[in-house]
Structure 1
Amino acid sequence: MKQLYDVLIVGGGVVGSAIAREMSRYSLKIGVLEKNLDVCCETSGRNSGVVHGGFAYDTGSLKAKLCLEGNKIMGRLASELDFAFDRCGKVLVGNTPEDMETLERTMKQGAANGVTTLELVDKKRLHELVPAVNGEFAMYSPDSGIVDPFHYTIALAENACANGVDYFFDHEVTDIKRDEEGHYVITASRKEFHTRWVVNSAGLGCGKISELLGLKGYKIIGSKGDYIILDKRTGPLLPMPVYPVPSNTYMGIHVTNTTHGNVIVGPNADLTDNFTYYGVSSENMDYLAESASDLWPCIHKSDYIRNYSGILPKWVDENGTIQDFKIEIQDEIAPCAINLIGIESPGLTAAVPIARYAISLMAEREKLTENPSFNPIRKGIDRFAELSMEEQNSKILENPDYGEVICRCEKVTKAEILQAIHNPLGVDTMTGIKYRTRSMMGRCQGGYCQMRIAQLLEEELGKKESQIQYSRKGSFMFYGKVRQEVE
């Protein structure tokens, strides 16, 4: 007998997982179809991790409204879901009269959007906020902040899972049709899934899924941004994100502190139609460093520990103009289908309000009954390195695996690695462990701990070495043993 879901969500990134979590507040059978092997493989895990203030978007737009709502509730979400969030503030730095005019317009737009805490600061106050910055004045946004995008997305997904949502990884949607009962039949990974409702939260794939739903005509382009990650020793020099004065469509190359002490430089913004290539050229790294050094002259190659890139899905009109978020139901073409198009920045900040907006459209069409057993609380993996000495000793007495450090750079213990390996979502990739524990994220980038973690995956999950994948499907790390034991 076929299983009928009430809702199937296509895409398990931060927005898809927020929708899953918020929908699990109701008595619904929910599933998530994710083409990757984890929830952080694309845009949700490849960004600056900034919680935006809501001043940078057109007044009256969904981007402005939902960003501001997301900013206001981020502290409560962090408390409920146990992820790192710091409301550290942000500055937009200027030097010229033209810069001042732009910042004054930004202040007015922010006020119109409902942002009440913005202020213009002079050079003296700017250097009190960020001593190492170059600039004559700035707009200061005290309500802006930073978040760990990996832990945030994972927390939403794990809480959804704990509240009954089924996650299906390595399930790329290839076909959507309707059966004689009017239900959707979704083909993913050569399997058929049946559902009353479908949600298109596919991010970079939103155009494709929209087409499969019969909702045609949306043009999605990719904006690829490259980043450099700097060593933690640079962290004390940057107490908050520093941005240049923005242009009409681009916030500019900036420097961002992180919740774990590193500094991120970038991004640039290059248009691309290749949504799977994440390489970073040396020329782009040089450009990022040179541009950002005008703002913050503390960038040195000796502090580079890694680079990465991310791609934003931008919905544009026939003239190439970037459009607002589109969150819709077109009843006459695709009834019971919630279509999300162009969910780019500030999608990380706005993820939960986006989810609630989408659910409100569903609630206009059918009565939703609250789930009496819904639990909003999720507990993450304790970071041993962040505990007091007394707490660390207690942990070791309770579980000796806390006394064995696997990742020296980030001081991640065997106990933490094991918790990550047995995570609620069943993710078993190397980056799955990395994103949950910060192992392999330090100065040596896994040079010391990576092989030990791979061995633990083999031992704990009964895998062969040739089955261990790094991140994406097919990213096998080993093809066999270098030496074979002879009996």
Structure 2
Amino acid sequence: MEQYDVVVIGAGVVGCAIARELSRYALKTLVLEKELDVATGNSSRNTGMLHAGFTYKLGTLRAQCSVEGNQEFDQVSSDLGVPFKRTGKLVVGFTDHDRQNILRFKANGEANGVRGIRMVDPDEMHRIEPNAGGNFAMYVPASGILDPMQYTIALAENACKNGARFSFGSRVIGIRALEGEEEKKALGLEEKGRMYQVTTDRGMVYTRWVINSAGAYAVKIGQLMGYPVVPQIGTKGEYYILDKKAGAFLKTPVYPAPNDRGGFVTHATPTVDGNILVGPDWYTTTGPEDYANQKQSLDRLFLDGQKMFKKMQRKYFIRNFVGIRWRNCDPVTKEPLDFRIMTDKNIPHTVSLVGIESPGVTAALPLARRTVDIVLGETDNEGKKILKKTDFDPVRKPIRRFSEMTLEEKQEAIRENPDYGQVFCRCENVSRAEILQAIHNPLGVHTLTGIKNRTRSMMGRCQGGYCQTRITQLMEQELGVEPEDLRYQREGGWLFTGKVRPDKQGEE
């Protein structure tokens, strides 16, 4: 009988942030995730921007959490070992209408508490970023870039270190409030008061609290909890990933002037690892996992990208990907609405977070704190007290990257651990030692993309052409599994289904 104080549904960036904040308290917490790792959905399918908060309507939850998350991130990234650079951002314009929109959102950002925004002339704009397009710009020094996959992994690992549990491959299919004390007694549950039975495709767990942070599936999970449908619209965006040769030409994110509604179209953004992302090209979708690229969209994206980044060339393309926003909207006008943290006195001990799209990465910890405050407040009102841990440790140490070491550090690392002397991934200069640490990660994730996201192996120019077979062989050896047991990313995503030739003469 698995019994918890809190069950969090969804291990995206917000779900993992909630788990980390809950782990500060004496609470038995479980995170249920339908996929085999954290950040397999839209928490990893975005630009990786730390947004400043200048386009969001004054007083909204989106604006408050964006500014709050931005201003604390230097400390957060230091504690969690997350790659992060406060690069600033250029918002460029071409027309008088662009200038009017930029000035409008400059004033909005200042009202929201965004620091240091200023207009720059063409000379200063090109001193900041020589390869930016545009005739004038607004400079936003508070903006930055981070690795959203590493951030989500770090939040989850720190939560795990402080006592939270994660159950991957656990799709929630039912949530039911237990009827009374007799039913709980029959189930062997000792907790008095409200309890829930959460059914997954792997079994059932019991909990006092249920928190819904299921991302694209949050409305569906909310309905299982008893919440009404929240109208949403899905928008799909294509991205190009450019290799590090192009990355040498762009150090500052370059965004076009926001449109009249405050949205952005195609922008060019350097990553913390030296690549460039160009995108997105937004259009409507009805599929929560409609991740297929479309040629016509990529063609438009290429033309739009050249306006933002003068060095945009096809020879630099190494990969494409798609992100999807599920945004709360007015059911009639389809106008976008704010994030929602939903509670209901008729569904006590539940919180449902719905429509957490951009800037969800920036806003994750502020949203998590507000969610945990609801748990603490409602518990206090019931005359109980949740104790804060005295031994909570906010620090998470990342895998040490061979590629980032000095020559002297590399020599010392190899002396201490000879596995650092074997380079598995040539494109990204990833060593055997790093692959081994990723295989034996704290969350127990054993997919190929799990290794990829923790080490950057298979992310270079050849996209795993050299190192993927060596990594899978090492996974087989370290985990003691057969090749047919390995998965690329998801259940059903087999890497191997059998042998193409016998091992020895006459054997199948």
Q: 2:200 maps to what in 1?
A: 188
Contact kept, 8 Å, 2:55 with 2:262, in 1: the verdict is no
Contact kept, 8 Å, 1:328 with 1:361, in 2: the verdict is no
Deviations 1:398-425 (A, max 9, x none): 1111100000000000000000000000
Aligned with 2:340 (options 323, 326, 338): 326
RMSD: 1.0
- For residues 14-413 of structure 1, the aligned pairs below 5 Å read 14-181=13-180, 182-247=194-259, 248-319=261-332, 320-332=334-346, 334-366=347-379, 367-413=385-431
Deviations 1:335-357 (A, max 9, x none): 11011010000000010001001
In the alignment, residue 340 of structure 2 is paired with which amino acid?
K
Contact kept, 8 Å, 1:44 with 1:149, in 2: the verdict is yes
In the alignment, residue 185 of structure 1 is paired with which amino acid?
Q
In the alignment, residue 296 of structure 2 is paired with which amino acid?
E
CA distance in 2, matches of 1:98, 1:317: 27
In the alignment, residue 396 of structure 2 is paired with which amino acid?
R
CA distance in 1, matches of 2:217, 2:280: 22
Q: Helix, strand or coil for the counterpart of 1:53?
A: coil
CA distance in 1, matches of 2:246, 2:288: 32
Q: 1:457 maps to what in 2?
A: 475
Q: 2:444 maps to what in 1?
A: 426
Contact kept, 8 Å, 1:21 with 1:160, in 2: the verdict is yes
**TM-score under structure 1 normalisation?**
0.98
Residue correspondences, number: 485
**TM-score under structure 2 normalisation?**
0.94
Shift of 1:132: 1.0
Q: Helix, strand or coil for the counterpart of 2:378?
A: coil
Contact kept, 8 Å, 2:216 with 2:288, in 1: the verdict is yes
CA distance in 2, matches of 1:168, 1:57: 35
In the alignment, residue 282 of structure 1 is paired with which amino acid?
K
Query: 4+ residue runs of structure 1 moved beyond 6 angstroms?
Result: none
Contact kept, 8 Å, 2:212 with 2:352, in 1: the verdict is yes
- Unaligned 5+ segments in structure 1 are none
CA distance in 1, matches of 2:356, 2:439: 31
CA distance in 1, matches of 2:232, 2:218: 8
Shift of 1:279: 1.2
Deviations 1:371-390 (A, max 9, x none): 12211010010000100111
In the alignment, residue 432 of structure 2 is paired with which amino acid?
K
CA distance in 2, matches of 1:34, 1:217: 22
Identity percentage of aligned residues: 46
In the alignment, residue 462 of structure 1 is paired with which amino acid?
G
CA distance in 1, matches of 2:207, 2:477: 38
Deviations 1:14-71 (A, max 9, x none): 0000000011000000000001111021010110000000111000000000000000
CA distance in 1, matches of 2:231, 2:458: 37
Shift of 1:486: 2.2
Deviations 1:445-487 (A, max 9, x none): 0000011111111111011111111111110011112222226
1:484 counterpart = 2:496: no
- Unaligned 5+ segments in structure 2 are 181-193, 380-384
